[in-house]
Every structure is written in structure tokens, then in C-alpha cells.
Amino acid sequence: MNETFFIEAENLTKHFGEVRAVDGVSIRVKPGEIYGLVGSDGAGKTTTMRLIVGALKADSGECSVCGYDVKKHIEDARSQLGYLSQRFSLYEDLTVLENIRFFAEVRGLKPDEWLPRSLEILDFVGLANFKDRRAGQLSGGMKQKLGLASALVTRPRVLLLDEPTTGVDPVTRQDFWQLLIRLVSTPLHLPPNSENLGGVSRRDEGGVAVLISTPYMDEASRCNRIGFMKSGRIIAEGTPWQLRDRLTGRVLELRGSPLNVLRRAAHSDPDVEDVQAFGDRLHIRVREKKADDVLSRLKSRIRSAGGTIEDLRVTSPGLEDVFIALSEASNE
């Protein structure tokens, strides 16, 4: 059976002068799926999203949203999209509800449509009690939720969120993710006349398809799939589990003191590729099949250098470990 994809981008490329901002990116996102774009500053995440929403024209490549070609049928494609840009702005002097009304009217919703929808969405994002508060008086996290509500007012089937939680406190980030998970796990309720819209049949409907960029690894690990971007390219893609599995057996965790002695001992081992501090512990990445050798050498080196080991063992790699390794590998 053919799979349905709500976002299908194939070999997208975009240059700005000499800069290859996006260099042959292909991404497919299914209904009910959260796809995370992860990468450092300037990797090309925002440009990729702007190509998909049709805010920028690709130099080459293809892209469709719910079956609508973004180049040929931009209005149809946009009618399926909600987009929260990295630097979206709210009207600070308008209330929460007035802000949503503005976005709804820009998107062509009629007065009898926007109000019930806005109230439903404010309830969904937890802002119902704040509908008459001026946007300028909302906390940072509440502003992000209002941004999300505005992007959802047209009930889009595809949602693009560009770093929606950057700078937001951890508790609000958790709330935000609960909302996203509810969004993608709720089957879409489309109007009856939407049969076979854009070639996507109602039978195929899951929830919304989400493409989200994030700098946070805990968020990346909540995505169904991740694309790791660097210099305009997706250099690795997979489920969080598949990506972590690339380093299975190659990360040691070391706790002890003093940290500088531990670090020096690790760096001086010929089979150690990288050492990173995570709070009070070190993650030591070793060459393939060398974990046991490094482990026994480290024990004696640290002791002879006057250090103390509280714990030293092979640990499950985190996504941070994987991304650091991938970044280094792509520099070589």
C-alpha cells in the first residue's frame, strides 16, 4: 500500500549568493508524525521551512503539501498549512482573542467561523482564561502558545514550527509538547466536502503532520523521526532510537574527581575520540570495539595520576553524543 505523506520535499536547494543555505534536502512527513529538524545555528532549518511554506522559492527541487505542489498550487498548499515562524510577532496592544481574530481574518475565515474556532483553540492551548489579556502582558511561554493557537486557527493538516520553545522555561516546554502530542494523535475531522483533497483520501487520515525545529535534545528525542542538519544538508535521519544505536557500546560514562585529571587521562588514550562533560560526569566516546580496552587502561591511568573513580562504565548513548559524533564526522 502506498504511504501518504502530508509533506513531501525532494532535493530542495536554495542559495543566497555564495551560501548554500539548503543543499539537496529531502523530507517526508506522514499524518500523525512529528519530524524534528535538529542542527546548529545557520544549518538551514529556517530556510528549509520557508521553502516548504512557499515563503521562498527553491532554486531546484520539488515540494508538495497534502498533495499540492508548492510551486504550482501555492494557495491550495497554504490552505493546509499552519506556520509558526522563528521570529513571529504578535500585536502587543491587542488582546489574545483579537490577535487570533487578526490571523483568522487574514486567512479568510468568516466571522461566524473564527470565533467558535478561536475559543476552541484557546481552550486547547490552555489560554481560555486569558482571552481578554493584552498580548504584551503575557509571559514568554504564553506568547508561544498564542503563536501556536494562531497557527492552528485554520485547522491545518500540516504544522511547521520553527524553534517554538527556544527561551521558554522547562515546565512550559513540557506543556507545549503535550499539546503537540495531542494534536498529532487526534484524528482529523475534516468537512464532508474534503473527500480526496489534494489526492489525500479521508481513509488515510491520521492526525496533523508536524515539522518542528529545535535546539533541545530532550525535545528531539520526543520526535518520531529526526533529521540532523548541517551546512544545508540532512546528514543523518532516523528515529531517536536508530540514531542512538549508531553509538551503542562506544560511550563510557565516568564519575570521579578531580575532573581535570579524569579529563586528561581520557584525552591521552589513543582510542578515545571525544570527551564531553555532562554536569558532574564525563561522556567518553571510544573507537569501535575498544570500550573494554579503554576502560581498563583508564582505571590504571587515573589511579596513577592520583584521581578517584566513583563510577566508570559503558553507558547508553544520548542524542547529544550522536550529534557531536555526526558533526565531527561530517567535518572530516
* Binding positions for Mg ion, rule: CB under 5 A: 45-46, 86
Task: Tell me which residues in 80-139 interact with ligand ATP (CB under 6 A).
Answer: 86
278 binds, among Mg ion, ligand ATP, none (CB under 5 to 8 A by kind): none
276 binds, among ligand ATP, Mg ion, none (CB under 5 to 8 A by kind): none
Nearest approach, Cβ of 54 to Mg ion (angstroms)?
17
Nearest approach, Cβ of 87 to ligand ATP (angstroms)?
9
Q: How many residues contact ligand ATP, by CB under 6 A?
A: 12
Given the rule CB under 6 A, which of 38-46, 90-98, 238-246, 260-268 is the region that contacts ligand ATP? 38-46
For the record, the C-alpha cell of 201 comes out as 483520501
For the record, the C-alpha cell of 60 comes out as 531546484
Question: How many CB atoms within 10 Å of residue 33?
Answer: 20
Nearest approach, Cβ of 163 to Mg ion (angstroms)?
6
**Which H or E run contains 77?**
helix 74-79
Q: Which three-class secondary structure state does DSSP give residue 188?
A: coil
Nearest approach, Cβ of 49 to Mg ion (angstroms)?
8
- Distance between the two ends of the chain, CA-based, in angstroms? 40
Nearest approach, Cβ of 43 to ligand ATP (angstroms)?
4
Nearest approach, Cβ of 214 to Mg ion (angstroms)?
10
Nearer to Mg ion, 86 or 172 (CB): 86
Q: Which residue is nearest to Mg ion (CB)?
A: 46
Q: Is there binding between residue 39 and ligand ATP (CB under 6 A)?
A: yes
Number of H helices, E strands in the chain: 11, 14
Task: Tell me which residues in 40-79 interact with ligand ATP (CB under 6 A).
Answer: 41-47
Nearer to ligand ATP, 16 or 91 (CB): 16
Long-range contacts of 56-62 (CB under 8 A, 24+ apart): 56/14, 58/12, 58/13, 58/14, 58/22, 59/13, 59/14, 59/15, 60/11, 60/12, 60/13, 61/9, 61/10, 61/11, 61/12, 61/13, 61/24, 61/25, 62/8, 62/9, 62/10, 62/11, 62/12
Q: Which amino acid is at 139?
A: S
Residues that bind ligand ATP (CB under 6 A): 16, 19, 21, 39, 41-47, 86
